[in-house]
């Protein structure tokens, strides 16, 4: 089994009396796009800084691309690309000069350097504007260029800290499209922080939900949505009569039943499972076309999960 | 590390020197420095420029001004423009980033000093009429040449290292500039007061010896001591700045 690109164990970071990251245990498989979701101030940026060795952990272990952070931080940075909170571009330099500087930093040989910059700038339609000062560009263009900068040296792992934050919906969608294509082309691992749930749903194959530095949910976006939706069934078909509803409501494994827009929605009680309920509905004479576990949007799921954690915290 | 420091230095020049003031502004500024200190003042001084030794050493303060033009921006500028974290997240080592920033100021200021010094000698040789000027060029003695080249470099390293440390601890370029200007304003009166204070407590016969050695200019041993002291101070400051440059702390700042 291949080793994970990122592995943390009990990772904790304190700033004076504030615990920014609290016992984070996480694995990100190589080749996946991992979304790290959380409200503002939940420790997402601090986690990226810890993973890059820009901050030292208070306690816990970090292994990135097989390197321990305590001894291998330079090797981790050498094999990674990072777009932090700000684009980090030199606004007094042109797009070409920005990429050329970083290509030199990553020691890309001269001939390859120019070809690579051209390839990347052409891929997002900015080749003709390579001589313009970055300071004169829109925020969307700057973010695109900053994403290219992270990919310049063909890293194995890329950290993107809220790459679409502050962009208008059109620019954000365009950046997401470019990002998806580039990630597929380059075949890399991406660690993406965002509080844009639609973005996470679109881009990520795995997500982790973090609140106040603690990981409170982790898995595929669909698993998160289903888990957060609770024990609900949606049954499409015909023959959902009032007597069928009464029969369902009287069962111990059903907490509630209602027909919405012609669909029978059943809330299972704790411990309730799908097959006996479906058998009861069929036995009551209903014709079933489809049965599925109900799922909220990832955004609803996120709000549920964070809200529950908030209530549990008191 | 040296190759990486070179990359940082070139970026720094391109960004701060040429784009900071605009290409025309930069050429105008540097041209003016060369014209004033390499042409106008030596032309007015004539042969005194090479015969009165103190005139050569007046150039020693030039790096101070030139370093100021670059150094405040080094880290404070990166921090203010939100590029520092990206630089720190790159594969560059701490040493390469720091050395690149210091070298950008040193090579620029020292290079300008040498250019101005060379221009001044050319100017003096052109404007002073004499027979067979190519056979008997007007040149500084070794002491003055040593003062300009070696002490000029040591003073430049001193200024650049202090400047980078101030910039490292400043949130904005404005703050760094303010701190450096205040330091500069206090520095010269402090040195003057120190000299006057030491001179005033000397016995009368020692005062006469000191005055005599300054007036007759026998700088050999003095230059040796100054070089040693400046080298030691430079080494100490470079070590100190490397201790101040800690990625973790820079992020928290």
> Rounded to an integer, what distance in angstroms lies between the CA atom of residue A33 and that of residue A111?
31
Model confidence over A275-286: pLDDT tens digits?
Answer: 999 999 999 999
Q: Do B86 and A49 touch (CB under 8 A)?
A: no
ipTM entry: 0.82
Q: Does residue A305 lie in a domain region?
A: no
Task: Return the residue of A nearest to B19 by Cα.
Answer: A92
Q: Cα angle at A47 between A78 and A34, to 5 degrees? A: 80
Q: Which residues of A fall within a CB distance of 8 Å from B252?
A: 15, 55
Last residue of a domain, one of A173, A203, A226: A226
**pLDDT band at A307; cut points 50, 70, 90:** low
Whether A127 and A193 map to the same domain: the answer is: yes
Give me the helices (H) in chain A, please: 44-51, 69-78, 95-105, 110-123, 139-151, 169-186, 197-203, 221-229, 242-250, 274-283, 298-313
- pLDDT value of residue B104: 93
Phi/psi of residue B226, each to 5°? -60, -40
Give me the helices (H) in chain B, please: 2-12, 23-34, 41-45, 48-51, 53-57, 62-71, 73-80, 84-88, 94-127, 142-146, 152-168, 173-201, 204-216, 220-244, 247-252
Whether A217 and A81 map to the same domain: the answer is: yes
**Residue A258 sits in a domain of what CATH number?**
3.30.70.100
Structure tokens at A162: 């809220």
Domain limits for position A181: 6-226
Whether A51 and A197 map to the same domain: the answer is: yes
Residue with tokens 């720190």: B88
Q: Do B82 and A82 touch (CB under 8 A)?
A: no
Report percent pLDDT > 70 for chain A.
91
Q: Is B204 an 8 Å CB contact of chain A?
A: no
Paired residues of A67 in beta bridges: A64
> Rounded to an integer, what distance in angstroms lies between the CA atom of residue A101 and that of residue A93?
10
- Give the distance from residue B6's alpha carbon to the nearest chain A alpha carbon, in angstroms: 10
Tally of domains within chain B: 1
Last residue of a domain, one of A226, A250, A278: A226
Whether A175 and A281 map to the same domain: the answer is: no
Last residue of a domain, one of A195, A226, A257: A226
Whether A102 and A160 map to the same domain: the answer is: yes
Closest CB to A105 among B82, B92, B248: B92
Whole-angstrom CA distances from B109 to B14, B22, B42, B103, B112 are 15, 18, 19, 10, 5
Whether A218 and A265 map to the same domain: the answer is: no
- pLDDT value of residue A113: 92
> What counts of helices (H) and strands (E) characterise chain A?
11, 14
Closest CB to B248 among A56, A88, A97: A56
- Residue A43 pLDDT exceeds 70: yes
CB B112, CB B69: distance < 8 Å: no
Tally of domains within chain A: 2
Q: Which residues of A fall within a CB distance of 8 Å from B83?
A: 86, 88-90
Q: Which residues of B fall within a CB distance of 8 Å from A54?
A: 85, 88-89, 247-248, 251
> Rounded to an integer, what distance in angstroms lies between the CA atom of residue A23 and that of residue A57?
11
Whether A50 and A97 map to the same domain: the answer is: yes
Q: Which residues of B fall within a CB distance of 8 Å from A154?
A: none
Whether A31 and A157 map to the same domain: the answer is: yes
Most confident listed range (A194-198, A294-298, B32-36): B32-36
Q: Splitting chain B (253 residues) into consecutive groups of 10 residues, what average pLDDT does each group show?
A: 92 80 81 89 85 68 81 90 92 92 93 90 86 75 81 90 91 91 82 80 81 68 76 92 84 67
Q: Do A84 and B85 touch (CB under 8 A)?
A: yes
Q: Do B85 and A90 touch (CB under 8 A)?
A: no
CB B104, CB B22: distance < 8 Å: no
Q: Which residues of A fall within a CB distance of 8 Å from B91?
A: 74, 77-78, 105-106
Q: Does residue A310 lie in a domain region?
A: no
Q: Which residues of A fall within a CB distance of 8 Å from B77?
A: none
Model confidence over A202-256: pLDDT tens digits?
Answer: 888 888 988 888 888 888 887 777 666 667 788 899 999 989 999 999 998 888 8
Model confidence over A84-106: pLDDT tens digits?
Answer: 988 999 999 999 999 999 999 99
Q: Which residues of B fall within a CB distance of 8 Å from A56?
A: 248
- Give the distance from residue B82's alpha carbon to the nearest chain A alpha carbon, in angstroms: 6
Q: Cα angle at A32 between A41 and A50, to 5 degrees? A: 40
Q: Do A85 and B82 touch (CB under 8 A)?
A: yes
Whether A179 and A238 map to the same domain: the answer is: no
**Residue A10 sits in a domain of what CATH number?**
3.40.50.300
Candidates B83, B86, B73, B90; CA nearest to B4 is B90
Whether A221 and A251 map to the same domain: the answer is: no
Domain limits for position B93: 2-252
- Give the distance from residue B200's alpha carbon to the nearest chain A alpha carbon, in angstroms: 52
| Most A CBs within 10 Å, among B89, B246, B251, to test the A interface | B89
Compute the residue count for chain B.
253
Q: How many CB pairs under 8 A join A and B?
A: 69
Phi/psi of residue B169, each to 5°? -100, 5
Closest CB to B90 among A49, A90, A105: A105
Q: Does residue A29 lie in a domain region?
A: yes
């Amino acid at each position: 089994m291949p080793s994970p690109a990122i592995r943390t164990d009990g990772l904790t970071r304190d700033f004076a009396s504030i615990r920014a990251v609290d016992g984070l245990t996480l694995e990100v498989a190589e080749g996946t796009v991992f979304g790290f979701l959380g409200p503002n101030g939940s420790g997402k940026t601090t986690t990226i800084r810890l993973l890059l060795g820009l901050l030292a952990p208070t306690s816990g272990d970090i292994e990135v691309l097989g390197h321990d952070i305590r001894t291998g931080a330079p090797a981790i940075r050498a094999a990674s690309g990072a777009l932090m909170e700000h684009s980090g571009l030199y606004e007094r330099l042109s797009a070409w000069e920005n990429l050329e500087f970083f290509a030199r930093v990553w020691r890309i040989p001269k001939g390859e350097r120019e070809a690579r910059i051209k390839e990347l700038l052409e891929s997002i339609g900015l080749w003709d504007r390579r001589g313009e000062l970055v300071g004169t560009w829109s925020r969307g263009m700057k973010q695109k260029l900053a994403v290219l900068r992270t990919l310049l040296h063909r890293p194995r792992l890329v950290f993107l800290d809220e790459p679409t934050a502050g962009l208008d919906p059109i620019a954000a969608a365009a950046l997401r499209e470019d990002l998806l294509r580039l990630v597929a082309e380059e075949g890399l691992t991406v660690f993406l922080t965002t509080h844009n749930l639609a973005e996470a749903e679109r881009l990520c194959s795995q997500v982790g939900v973090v609140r106040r530095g603690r990981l409170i949910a982790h898995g595929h976006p669909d698993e998160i949505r289903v888990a957060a939706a609770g024990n609900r069934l949606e049954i499409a078909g015909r023959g959902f009569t009032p007597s069928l509803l009464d029969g369902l409501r009287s069962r111990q494994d059903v907490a509630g039943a209602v027909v919405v827009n012609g669909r029978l929605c059943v809330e299972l009680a704790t411990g309730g499972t799908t097959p006996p309920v479906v058998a009861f509905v069929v036995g009551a004479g209903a014709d079933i076309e489809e049965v599925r576990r109900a799922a909220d949007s990832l955004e609803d799921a996120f709000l549920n999960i964070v809200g529950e954690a908030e209530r549990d915290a008191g | 590390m040296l190759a990486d420091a070179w990359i940082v230095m070139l970026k720094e020049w391109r960004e701060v020197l040429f784009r900071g003031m605009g290409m025309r502004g930069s050429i105008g500024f540097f041209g003016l420095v060369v014209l004033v200190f390499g042409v106008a003042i030596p032309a007015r001084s004539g042969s005194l420029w090479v015969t009165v030794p103190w005139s050569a050493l007046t150039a020693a303060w030039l790096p101070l001004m030139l370093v100021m033009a670059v150094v405040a921006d080094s880290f404070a500028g990166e921090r203010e423009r939100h590029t520092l974290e990206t630089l720190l997240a790159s594969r560059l080592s701490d040493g390469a980033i720091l050395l690149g920033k210091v070298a950008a100021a040193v090579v620029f200021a020292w290079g300008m000093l040498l250019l101005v010094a060379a221009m001044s000698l050319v100017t003096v040789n052109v404007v002073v009429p004499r027979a067979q000027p190519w056979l008997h060029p007007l040149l500084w003695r070794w002491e003055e040449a040593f003062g300009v080249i070696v002490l000029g470099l040591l003073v430049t390293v001193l200024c650049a290292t202090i400047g980078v440390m101030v910039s490292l601890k400043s949130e904005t370029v404005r703050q760094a500039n303010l701190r450096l200007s205040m330091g500069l304003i206090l520095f010269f009166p402090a040195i003057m007061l120190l000299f006057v204070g030491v001179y005033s407590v000397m016995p009368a016969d020692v005062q006469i010896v000191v005055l005599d050695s300054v007036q007759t200019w026998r700088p050999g041993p003095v230059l040796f001591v100054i070089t040693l002291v400046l080298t030691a101070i430079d080494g100490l400051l470079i070590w100190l700045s490397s201790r101040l440059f800690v990625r973790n702390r820079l992020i928290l700042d």
